[in-house]
Chain A
Amino acid sequence: MVRVRPVLAMFLAAGVLASTAGCAFKPIEPWVKPYERERLADPVMKASLNELPGRQQDHVYVVREGSRGATGVQGGGCGCN
């Protein structure tokens, strides 16, 4: 029967842990480089070309629906329904 010395076992365990940790904590690099984002910057990707129509639309809904918020449009004041 082969007996592994405790000190050797500790070195082996430390080696395994170190190699595993090396894999686990290897930083993730940004995988979409700036030069690959041309399509994302195209106007066709925007929800709206202009800013003002969003305010009208948000106002139309917020004075008629109970929900509010997380729309990304700033407004204010009273509306009318």
Chain B
Amino acid sequence: MAAIKNAAKVAGLAAGAVASTSVQAVDLPEDRAETMYHLYDGGGVIAQGPALLVRKSMLDRVSLSGSWYVDAVSNASIDVVTTASKFKEVRNQGELGLDYVVRDSLIHVSGSRSVEPDYQASTLSVDLTQDVFGGMTTVLLGYSHADDKVGQHGTPGWVGTAHHWQYRLGLTQILTPRWQASANLESINDDGYLQSPYRLARVFGSYIHENAPTTRESKALKLSVTGDITPEGANNRRSLRADYRYYWDTWGIRGHTLELAYNRNLAPGWLLESTLRYYRQNHALFYSDNAPVQMLYVSRNRELATMHDFGPGVTVSYTLKSIPGKYDVKLSGSYQFIDFHYADYTKPDTGKPYSYHASVFNTVLSATF
């Protein structure tokens, strides 16, 4: 484990995913299979591996899904090489899900488990999606609970546990035959061991173990609008999407995420998806690059620093074979570039603000049937 990353940080079922496809919200998810190879390379970290997903409906009311995701990580990031040594580890995550349709409602239940040598996380989620107002409005309510066990290499047993509670509320509204908008609110509350047993903070120029609060409460509100901007008479469909997310928590972090996306059919069977994403945040109350005074809580976790990142992404998909009403097979490739800049996290050797860029790549072979 290189950093505390609990289940709650990542969890958050389908609030946007389900709600953003509101016209199909109370339909069962389509039967599909996906296999992916993914790669992240940036800042001395390489994370790669395969992932699989299978989803199959039964009796027209139930859909079962299972997925497996592998992260094989080689870590030589700046904080690791500064205070420790390069390491490798593998994270495996499995998930089982069930979707059930009752009239205009879709009930989703899922459980996931993530295991790596010094960190284990188990998550249980329940979501309810309901169509109202003639199907023009979709409401989503969701809840997740996660339990984590945090370990440390060389130390028997666990050094701590953490618990997470998540509450989701989503609303999607069809505005016109071409435009729809959505709002999603998610609250995440954490309790327990929320720091890393490895990470060091700097006080008066000396390194000591970080000490983070044992509780954290956060909220995120995401607003999104998507529209079909295909000119009348044009054959190739195209769409535009704009997302904005505002984040705030009791650690003093305020984050702004802005994403713009443009999709279009290039030719029969070809789809282009392009995105532009910008993010910025201020640092946590107890974050310090080099604390000038002794504080109860102190951390030099880059994730809690004043930083921003920016980058474009592009995905191209091609339909290898399609028999309408029976099945289709698609192949896609995706590349994303991200530029990270830290205002108050400095390189120990030069004392200058740290920055780096990363490449994110994946290729997916998928089939619907």
Contacts and interface: CB of A to CB of B under 8 A. Distances in A.
Contacts of B135: 30, 34, 37
**What class of interface size applies to chain B in its complex with A?**
35 or more
B265 to A, nearest CB: 6
Contacts of A61: 279
Nearest to B135: A34
Interface residues of A, number: 52
Given A30-B136, A76-B114, A81-B3, A57 B186 contact: no
Contact of A78 (B3, B261, B284, B303): B3
A40 B177 contact: yes
Interface in A54-70: 54-70
Interface in B268-315: 271, 273, 279, 281, 284, 302-304, 307, 309, 315
Contacts of A71: 12, 16, 222, 245
B362 A53 contact: yes
Contacts, number: 268
Interface stretch (A9-17, A18-26, A44-52): A44-52
Given A47-B261, A73-B10, A75-B93, A68 B2 contact: no
B133 A70 contact: no
Contact of A63 (B3, B125, B284, B364): B3
Contact of B255 (A66, A77, A79): A66
Contact of A49 (B15, B23, B45, B366): B366
B152 interface: no
B73 to A, nearest CB: 4
Contacts of A30: 133-136
B31 interface: no
A69 B5 contact: no
B330 to A, nearest CB: 7
A68 B220 contact: yes
Contacts of A40: 22-23, 174, 177-178, 180, 228
B200 interface: no
Contact of B3 (A46, A51, A80): A80
B14 A72 contact: yes
Given A52-B51, A53-B334, A79-B5, 10 more contacts: A30-B136, A32-B175, A43-B271, A44-B263, A60-B358, A63-B9, A69-B187, A72-B17, A74-B11, A77-B114
15 contacts: A34-B135, A44-B228, A44-B264, A46-B21, A50-B36, A52-B364, A58-B10, A70-B184, A70-B221, A74-B11, A75-B10, A76-B122, A77-B7, A78-B91, A79-B5
Interface of A: 29-34, 36-81
